[in-house]
Amino acid sequence: MTDTGTHGRRRSAAWFGAEGRSGMVYRSWMRNQGYTGEVFDGRPVIGIATTWSELAPCNSHLQRVAESVKRGVWQAGGFPLEFPAMALGETLMRPTAMLYRNLLAMEAEELMRANPLDGVVLLSGCDKTTPGLLMAASSVDLPAIMVTGGPMLNGKYRGGDVGSGTQVWRFEAELAAGRMTQEECFFAEGCMARSNGHCMTMGTASTMASMAEALGMQLPGSASWPAVDSRRYETAQRAGQRIVAMVAEDLRPSQIMTREAFENAIRVNAAIGGSTNAVIHLLAIAGRLGVPLALDDFDALAREVPTLVDLQPSGRFLMEDFCYAGGLPVVMRELGALLHPEPTTVTGRTVAENVADAECWNREVIRTLDDPFQEAGTGTAVLRGNLAPNGAVIKQSAASRHLLTHRGRALVFDTPEDYLAVHADEDLPVDENTVLVIRGSGPRGYPGMPEVSNVVLPPKLLRKGIEDMVRICDGRMSGTGFGTVVLHVSPESAVGGPLALVRDGDWITLDVPARTLTLDVGEAELERRRAAWEPPPPVADRGWSRLYTEHVLQADQGLDLDFLVGGSGHPVPRESH
């Protein structure tokens, strides 16, 4: 049990076990909620950090999930207390929810540390809420367990399955090409979202739920149960029971999320065809724990891992199918010797013990190592070169094979808006060999590094049947997106990265097998352009956005704020009265 100067008592005893005025203050006002005195008898106090909000549609059912967690905590002899943490709805927040991931992490960290908590259950759903809460829990390092909200049921449209997010990009292209009407799109959008939950494709939400499970921070099988499946709520109840035991065991995030656990997660991400956004989030979480992790690790660790899961956007199926096929435990068992078996998880057991009995019920959805969906080395690749000296990434499993080696002339736009304003022009100087360069979309330049990189193709190309072309951007792409899109170019253009120096007509060479991204312009010319370059004006002059742009790290470092890297533990703060 953690000793924080309370003579071996639980941390919460510094509040609820105190004598005199302080103890009276801490207990009395809690009793206005109708609690009897027994809750202050020294039992573990469990915080339930919920990112529920009606402005975060993917998280709008977390109130019910929290009730299930509370049942488990009470059953195990704990005292559950739910508290709100900032909800980040990727689908509504502008300019991007990513701008606020670090604010959620900072808020949740301070709430965990400032309150009388012995352990924490983390309730997340939409993309950034999962890494944001994991970052907070890592910096505080109290016993913690995650419960993600689960994916929506499969979308259904005209007799077939449609995936949230992924189908949006396809419908957008069909609309731009004149093959779909706005009325049809309006009807179809309701068909994609027919239950509570987050995207049911292997987008960022499903990916980060899987990463939480692969890291050992979520109960086995938790990542894939649909949000409206009763077993989602059974899982939440078990998590409530388990966190009470974790407090007694003093089992903390720093003991679970080790270097070996991160290596496992990176390989699992490759096997499931997971989102490129996992790269940024895992780097940030590791930074909070002091675990050494670098961008190149994602390439090196993924090269020998095949894609086993046939899920959209890379494949055919959806998360509901993945769940019924056996979910992540089957994938982890199938990976076998590619994973470290010994890391401890929130169950108190090892990774190998957790997945030893996992069985696959549908080999179309989850393939074997001997018969993978895509061969080894088709996961996220890290590119370097004079256009991305600090790195860039590309999701090979969602790209077009014929474009992974490509040379074309650049057509450059300083913002996504500049491109979208003219992309439908019939006289736009573009063909299928052109390389679209979209800049001004990085962490400082936009700000927040939004998911704008996979811009829709020019309609005149779509009408010719061209479905993909090389796009390069210092922004991100939704995990539900697809295409041959080079992402996370670092340093970004707004801080003077080489992307800022590209001009229309420059030749660019993409060679994914060689892991290179090259601007074919001589160094002398680049130096001349660099000398003439002027930084763009600041995008914020006050508030959080100013703090963010002044302190955010680049994509290759996980986009945390420089002063938030690391942790401060969970000492009992000084008296408040």
| Same domain as 334, residue 388 | no
Condensed to tens digits (0 to 9), the pLDDT of residues 61-83 reads 999 999 999 999 999 999 999 99
Strand, coil or helix: what is 484? coil
In whole angstroms, give the CA distance from residue 191 to residue 243. Answer: 37
Average pLDDT of the residues in 81-97: 96
Assess if residue 571 is contained within a domain: no
Assess if residue 176 is contained within a domain: no
| Same domain as 521, residue 416 | yes
| 164 and 236 Cβ atoms separated by less than 8 Å | no
User: Which amino acid is present at 80?
Assistant: P
Assess if residue 16 is contained within a domain: no
Terminal CA-CA length for the chain: 27
State the residue for tokens 């505080």. Answer: 140
H/E segment holding residue 393: strand 388-395
| Same domain as 211, residue 346 | yes
Confidence at residue 170, expressed as pLDDT on a 0 to 100 scale = 84
| Same domain as 200, residue 120 | yes
Confidence at residue 8, expressed as pLDDT on a 0 to 100 scale = 57
Residues 6+ apart with CB under 8 A from 402: none
Whether the per-residue pLDDT at 39 is higher than 80: the answer is: yes
User: Across the chain, what does the average pLDDT equal?
Assistant: 96
| Same domain as 402, residue 347 | no
In whole angstroms, give the CA distance from residue 473 to residue 456. Answer: 13
Condensed to tens digits (0 to 9), the pLDDT of residues 398-432 reads 999 999 999 999 999 999 999 999 999 999 999 99
| Same domain as 522, residue 422 | yes
| Same domain as 440, residue 493 | yes
Confidence at residue 480, expressed as pLDDT on a 0 to 100 scale = 85
Condensed to tens digits (0 to 9), the pLDDT of residues 180-194 reads 899 988 898 888 999
Whether the per-residue pLDDT at 209 is higher than 90: the answer is: yes
Count of domains forming the chain: 2
In whole angstroms, give the CA distance from residue 20 to residue 18. Answer: 7
Question: Which has the minimum average pLDDT: 31-45, 163-177, 304-318?
Answer: 163-177
Which is nearest to 190 in space by CA: 57, 55, 52? 57
| Same domain as 384, residue 351 | no
Assess if residue 292 is contained within a domain: yes
Assess if residue 472 is contained within a domain: yes
Condensed to tens digits (0 to 9), the pLDDT of residues 447-457 reads 999 999 999 99
Whether the per-residue pLDDT at 3 is higher than 80: the answer is: no
Assess if residue 186 is contained within a domain: no
Range of the domain at 489: 380-541+548-555
For residue 207, the domain's CATH number is 3.40.50.2300
State the residue for tokens 């008296």. Answer: 575
Assess if residue 128 is contained within a domain: yes
For residue 497, the domain's CATH number is 3.50.30.80
| Same domain as 412, residue 341 | no
| Same domain as 409, residue 329 | no
| Same domain as 385, residue 312 | no
Confidence at residue 6, expressed as pLDDT on a 0 to 100 scale = 39
Whether the per-residue pLDDT at 486 is higher than 60: the answer is: yes
Confidence at residue 84, expressed as pLDDT on a 0 to 100 scale = 98
φ/ψ of 475, rounded to 5, equals -100, -165
Average pLDDT of the residues in 467-485: 95
H/E segment holding residue 516: strand 516-519
Share of the chain above pLDDT 90, in %: 92
| Same domain as 125, residue 263 | yes
Confidence at residue 2, expressed as pLDDT on a 0 to 100 scale = 37
Share of the chain above pLDDT 70, in %: 99
Assess if residue 73 is contained within a domain: yes
Q: What are the beta bridge partners of residue 410? A: 435
